[in-house]
Structure 1
Amino acid sequence: MNNNILYSPIVNENIYNNNNDFSNTTNTNQDYQISIDPNIDIMAKYSVLLPTYNERENLPIIVWLLNDTFTKNNIDYEIIIIDDASPDGTLEVAKKLQQIYGENHIVLRPRAGKLGLGTAYIYGIESATGEFVILMDADMSHHPKYIPEFIKLQKQYNFDIVTGTRYSLGGGVYGWDLRRKLTSRVANFIADTLLNPGVSDLTGSFR
């Protein structure tokens, strides 16, 4: 069962002490196909990391949405699929998608077993050929329509990191019980107190 998570595509609370406040600038009903300023250079290549485990049903949808978003915005991209030996045939689906979209856009990096999300990201980064890396979940928790806004903010202000947040205007979590919401909030509070990174959502993985 998928978690319905809505991320607000903003720079989290002035990351790296930037003085601009973007917390109220995001319109979630905006047409993201035309959200990038035509004067902003978007010639860079973007590598999307998609760790997968039993995502055979979701994978074709998220790949289609990613391709549609990048193509309509004329952005060069590659999607790196890191599958941890999914028993449901996710890798076989990924191979078919590679035939459809091409090896230059779909890069397969399967692993021998379920080795964890963190190491999957590291493995994917090692294979990335883009100038920028985008981390996403393959289960539709993160919608690709927000990516152009991420890119726009990064280009305009030369940020090192742009991250989504569930805890600002336009963000939210649906389908979570109270315990899970409290756990997420507490974890973010502790991490923010100890590390003081200046962001509101440290446990999300859309950045």
Structure 2
Amino acid sequence: MSTQTLSIVIPAYNEGPTIHHILNKVKAVVLKGDIRKEVIIVNDCSKDNTEEAILTYKAANPDLPISYYKHEVNQGKGAALHTGIKKATGDYVIIQDADLEYDPNEYNILLQPILDGFADVVFGTRFMGGNPHRILFFWHSIGNRWLTTLSNMLTNLNLTDMETCYKLFKREFIQSLELNEKRFGFEPEVTAKISRVPKIRIYEVGISYYGRTYEEGKKIGWKDGFRAIWCILKYNLWKK
């Protein structure tokens, strides 16, 4: 079997103090079989030392293949993901936040249904399985479940965590989509559009979650929740 590649797309905004931690975790992961890693970082016009931290890390770790891109104007997480997805060359693409909320050691868990020949897309759910979860915001969890339910009603999927960061795709599927949302509307948009791909096979696996407080750098807010509702309706009912 020829060597396959997992493209790890990391959007980054003002993550200078911590981005080396997530890159260390990515570097340490040993992927199953003959799969290697390709790391694509998109700096969304950070105002801190994110660029310096990334370039310093890249120079000090030549054994981790890192491709670095930056936006000259801040456009939002979704826009950074669009850039990273377009640049991906691997057989599979996974979204990885630059913070420490999700654990790269679980890449193999997400890859397994694809490697076994069952799946084309795998969502990592925070609401299923026995992995550790940090206890944080009650209304966030209620909001996530409500958004997932609304999304499921319109996509006819039975996901438990539509808003999860960890989504792994066969590259040809994710690059075939025309994605528009520049901020946190990426999640409902990509879910709606991937659900309409003919004969697509979508799986879920349980993952852990090490959530951050706002003091620790969490960025999503209540306005993003309302935008998510709009995106669920827009990309399912009007199917743009």
Shorter-normalised TM range: 0.7 to 0.9
CA contact (8 A) 2:40 2:67 kept: yes
TM-score scaled to structure 1, two decimals? 0.73
1:154: how far off?
A: 1.2
TM-score, normalised relative to structure 2: 0.64
Contact 1:46 1:78 in 2 (8 A): yes
Deviation at 1:57, TM superposition (A): 2.0
Structure 2 match to 1:100: 60
**Equivalence for 1:77:** 37
1:122 Cα deviation after fit: 1.1
| 3-state DSSP of counterpart to 2:107 | helix
Unaligned runs of at least 5 residues, structure 1: 1-40
For 1:190, give the aligned amino acid.
Answer: L
Long gaps (5+) in structure 2: 168-240
CA spacing shift, 1:194–1:71, aligned 2, 3 Å? closer
CA contact (8 A) 1:44 1:131 kept: yes
| Greater than 4 Å deviation, 4+ residue runs | 71-74
Once the two structures are superposed, the pairs formed by residues 189-204 of structure 1 within 5 Å of their partners are 189-204=149-164
- The one of the two structures with greater contact order (alpha-carbon pairs below 8 A, sep at least 6) is 1
Shift of 1:175: 4.2
Residues 165, 171 of structure 1: 8 Å contact kept: no
In structure 1, what is the Cα distance between the partners aligned to 2:92 and 2:4? 8
Aligned partner of 1:178 among 130, 138, 142: 138
Q: Tell me whether 1:155 sits opposite 2:115 in the alignment.
A: yes
2:29 aligns to what SS in structure 1?
A: helix
Cα–Cα, structure 1 residues 106 and 150, in superposed 2: closer, same or farther, change >3 Å?
A: same
Matched to 1:43, the amino acid is T
Residues 42, 140 of structure 1: CA spacing in aligned structure 2 closer, same or farther, 3 A cutoff? farther
Q: Assess if the C-alpha contact under 8 Å between 2:145 and 2:160 holds in 1.
A: no
Q: Which residue of 2 aligns with 1:54?
A: 14
Separation in 1, partners of 2:30, 2:19: 16
Call closer, same or farther: CA 1:109–1:201 in 2, change over 3 Å: same
Equivalent position amino acid for 1:150 in 2? L
Change (3 A) 1:42 1:204: farther
* CA positional deviation for 1:140: 0.9
Bigger mean CA offset, 97-106 vs 125-134: 97-106
Match of 2:28 in 1: 68
Deviation at 1:73, TM superposition (A): 6.9
Asked if structure 1 preserves the Cα contact closer than 8 Å seen for 2:4 and 2:34, the reply is: no
Check whether the contact 1:165–1:200 (CA below 8 A) recurs between aligned residues.
yes
- 1:75 is aligned with what amino acid? I
Q: How many residues align?
A: 167
Q: CA RMSD in A?
A: 2.2
Secondary structure of 2:125's partner?
coil
Measure how far apart 1:95 and its partner are. 0.5
Would the aligned equivalents of 1:42 and 1:75 in 2 still touch at CA under 8 Å? no
